[in-house]
Amino acid sequence: MENVVWIFVSAMVVNNFTLFYFLGLCPFMGVSARVSTALRMGAADIFVLVVTSVCTWILNTFVLAYAPYLRLISFIVVIASVVQIVEMVIKKVSPRLFRELGMFLPLITTNCAILYLAIFQTNRGYGFFEGLAFAVGAGAGLTLALVLMASIRQETEFSSIPAVARGAALVFIIAGALSLAFMGFAGLLSAT
């Protein structure tokens, strides 16, 4: 149980996909203008990561053990299928959210964080529950990064910022500061 908790905390904070490995930057930069949109995108990411983790475990355990050379293409097909299902469900359940997410929802298909999860879960030899903890932790970490960025960006709308630093420049400065802050957790947690 301790190993599962450590995998969750590590994926969420210490080895955050977005702020440590710089994976999933398209939604991080694009959807992080409003907290509500960031939360919804984070929920979609968590769902896709969990379903991908389960499918990856099933594929690795029952199919790819006999044909490991099909691993990468199998992961890509699973991710594309899961994202298509999520896209159809969101379009049916919440057309407004579907419009808000716009092109970033299909980008989950090519989000390297999702593929990274499948590959890392396999390479680390995670079992079913370890894979779930890794997926939920990674999704929570992505959501945390999205919400932090969105909340800071919303606050900067009311600040007097020089024109040269507005827009993309400010977003990259904020992302760098958040990344440095999250890298500090690695030293904190390794010392305990």
Q: Which domain holds residue 167?
A: 2-191
In this prediction the pTM is 0.83
Rounded Cα–Cα distance for residues 19 and 173 (Å)? 13
Q: How many CB atoms lie within 10 A of CB 150?
A: 22
When divided into structural domains, the chain yields a total of: 1
Print pLDDT tens along the chain (192 aa).
678 998 998 889 888 888 888 887 777 777 677 888 888 888 888 888 898 899 999 999 998 888 888 888 988 888 888 888 878 888 888 888 787 766 666 767 667 888 899 999 999 989 999 999 999 999 999 999 999 998 888 888 777 888 777 777 888 888 888 888 888 877 765 544
Cα distance between residue 79 and residue 111, in whole Å: 9
